[in-house]
Amino acid sequence: VGEQVLLKCSFKSSSPITESLLVDWTYRPLSGGQMETVFHYRSIPHPTTVGKFQDRISWAGNVANGDASIIIQSPELSDNGTFICSVKNPPDV
């Protein structure tokens, strides 16, 4: 709580990394409920502009190195839950 946290995500692809590569981070609260997209990357980072993580998530990855990590600023106990990193690099998924 209070210190920024790095959520690591690494990937390998049999296809060359292109502009088509997509990264989606989703979150589901510990109490269950609706999954929400908290971060999207396609050529450039697109942090969420709504919801509880608005203005608190930044890109820490480098897709050329197989890294799709993000940073959460000022985490709170209520942020506890499941974070899922999904990477698609067409035609490889």
**Per-residue pLDDT reduced to its tens digit, 14-33:** 999 999 999 999 999 998 88
pLDDT at 83: 97
**What is the β-pairing status of strands 70-72 and 57-59?**
antiparallel
Q: Is the dihedral of CA 66, 39, 81, 88 positive or negative?
A: negative
Residue 45 preceded by cis peptide, ω within 30: no
Q: Which domains does the chain have, with CATH numbers?
A: 4-88 (2.60.40.10)
Output DSSP code: residue 9. Answer: -
Q: What is the pLDDT of residues 73-90, one digit of tens each?
A: 999 999 999 999 999 999
Classify the phi-psi angles of 56: left when phi > 0, otherwise alpha if psi is within -120 to 50, otherwise beta.
Answer: alpha
What does the pLDDT average to over 22-46? 93
pTM of the full structure:
0.92
What does the pLDDT average to over 27-45? 93
% of the chain residues with pLDDT over 90 = 83
50 pLDDT above the threshold of 80: yes
What radius of gyration do the chain's Cα atoms show? 13
What does the pLDDT average to over 55-69? 96
Q: State the CB neighbour count (10 A cutoff) for residue 21.
A: 21
